Amino acid sequence: MNQFPDSQPARDLPIPPRYWWLKRIAIAVGLLIVGLVGLRLWWGHIVDRRIDEMVAKYHAAGDPILPEDFVTESLPDDQNAVWYFEQAGTSITYPNGVDIDIHDIDFNGELHYTNAADVAAIIEANTRVIELAHTARKMRKADWKFDATQPLLTINQTPRAPFRSLVYFLRVAATHDALKGKPLDAIARISDVLVLSDVFREESTLVSQIVADAQAMAACDTIRKIAPLLARAKPNEDVKRLIAALLDIQSSKQGWNRAMLFEQAQLLDTLTRLADARLTATNFAGVTVGGTTSPLMTIYVVALGPMLKTSGFDMIAHTHKAQEAGTMASYQQATKHFDEWSAFDQMSGFPTDQLTIGIRGKLVGSYSRVILLHFRHRAIRFATATVLAINLFESDHGRRPETLDELVPDYLPSVPLDPFAPGDQPIRYLPHAEDPRLYSVGENGIDDDGAFDESDLSGRGGKSPDIPFFLDRDTLTELLDEWSGQHTEQEDEDRGDTQEDQKE
């Protein structure tokens, strides 16, 4: 007997309206998710295809853009100039009783004969360093052991202290040899530094390019200070070869292009890794290599991956424009071609750029100062070669040339152009000024008749109207007798009395 006559089977109960809405909402959300996933896949496919086309374009031009493109021939240590230079830098030792450091020696004319014995002892104790540097110079081939498997964002990690110490040592050795009447040995030491700078350019990174420029400019500084002594070398073929090496900027041009291409490859690699969650992102204001990130952040980054990759096209185009600027004939042309701040403002106008502006600020460097340094290095090399040619002319003829045209073709193939001057204008020459000098018109491109500011002779501070390269000032010829051991006991006593008076 049915005790519940009014009951209905469960399947006949009506579904409450709210459950119908939940079902519809669930279906709608599911369709939305499917649509978003499809949109994400389509968007990613389009962006990846654009990347593939860009990579193919770079490769067709013979330019590297992927990490593996920067891998060079693997060399054993005994055939690798990098290894010899590094060994030379780490092998520098100081004999007992020597209380000076090569890093502390002043090259501005204050290197007194009281240091001569210590410097000679240091050089005598480090003949192996000189031999290693000489072997590296003759070898030339370089292998920096580039690892294409690690993120390019972490590549700038090569220890540079040994190479920096080696540059100081070789400059000291060159100065010592010149003052001791051995100009050919001095030229060999300077040539070692110039080759070391070329080897650094093969490491590809922009940091290495900047270091290479600094090394070459340091060598030029030493050359100008001992130029009158180098010009005494007989025969003078080695001096002329050094002049030719200073005028040859092919390695600098190649290094610049390779470094800027590496910057572009670094952008592509970093944004691709970040978009694929192979780098951790703490937020859009910075990128952290390694570590862990939350699942929510990973989903966020992966979902917006195409946007990150898309922002890379503008960053790479910006960096490529800076690369082109560095290849211009003059600094004035470069600044017209590459206006850094207007380029950033243009990039910031895109909606997606507002979301990636923090990452862009971390990954895209300020290239204006690097471009300026690149052209300053070129001007310093050209001016140094001309200073050396003038001293060589004076050694042969007993006078300085009245014009730089007198140096052509016996001492210079042509008068070097001023990289800061608009158009094809040569470096200026003031042989009869109170301070005889060459000069470059400097960053502003305006010829101020060789005017300069004593507090900013390099022009780096922006105060000096022109950049001077003095022919008499700051040379070390006044130390020649002191370092040659030709001073007398009376001169020692007089100098000692003078020093005591100065202390009082």
- Give me the percent of the chain exceeding a pLDDT of 90: 48
| Per-residue tokens: 126 | 């480090």
pLDDT in tens, 96-115: 888 777 777 765 544 444 56
Asked if 22 and 98 sit in the same domain, the reply is: no
More confident residue, 327 or 110: 327
Asked if 197 and 75 sit in the same domain, the reply is: yes
Q: How far is CA 376 from the centre of its chain?
A: 12
Asked if 253 and 104 sit in the same domain, the reply is: yes
Q: What pLDDT score was predicted for residue 179?
A: 86
The answer to whether position 80 is within a domain reads yes
The answer, yes or no, to whether residue 289 has pLDDT greater than 50, is no
Q: How many domains does the chain have?
A: 2
Asked if 40 and 156 sit in the same domain, the reply is: no
Beta strands per DSSP E along 14-170: none
H, E, C per residue of 91-113: CCCCCCCCCCCHHHCCCCCCCCH
Asked if 49 and 133 sit in the same domain, the reply is: no
Asked if 168 and 195 sit in the same domain, the reply is: yes
The closest of 182, 249, 186 to 217, measured between CA atoms, is 249
Q: What pLDDT score was predicted for residue 292?
A: 46
Domain, as residue range, for 28: 17-60
The answer to whether position 448 is within a domain reads yes
The answer to whether position 334 is within a domain reads no
The answer to whether position 145 is within a domain reads yes
229 within 8 A of 177, measured Cβ to Cβ:
no
Provide the pLDDT confidence category of residue 153 given band limits of 50, 70 and 90. Answer: confident
Asked if 94 and 53 sit in the same domain, the reply is: no
3-state secondary structure of 213: helix
Q: What pLDDT score was predicted for residue 23?
A: 77
Asked if 50 and 125 sit in the same domain, the reply is: no
Q: How far apart are CA 347 and CA 224, in angstroms?
A: 44
Q: How far apart are CA 400 and CA 202, in angstroms?
A: 39
Q: How far apart are CA 210 and CA 222, in angstroms?
A: 19
Laid out side by side, the sheet with 467-470 consists of: 428-430, 437-440, 467-470
Asked if 27 and 74 sit in the same domain, the reply is: no
Asked if 54 and 157 sit in the same domain, the reply is: no
The answer to whether position 472 is within a domain reads yes
pTM of the entire predicted model? 0.83
Q: How far apart are CA 476 and CA 43, in angstroms?
A: 66
Asked if 80 and 114 sit in the same domain, the reply is: yes
- Listed in sequence order, the residues at least 6 apart from 224 whose beta carbon sits closer than 8 Å to its beta carbon are 384, 387, 388, 469, 470, 474, 475
The angle formed by the CA atoms of residues 223, 465 and 475, to the nearest 5 degrees, is: 25
Q: What pLDDT score was predicted for residue 148?
A: 84
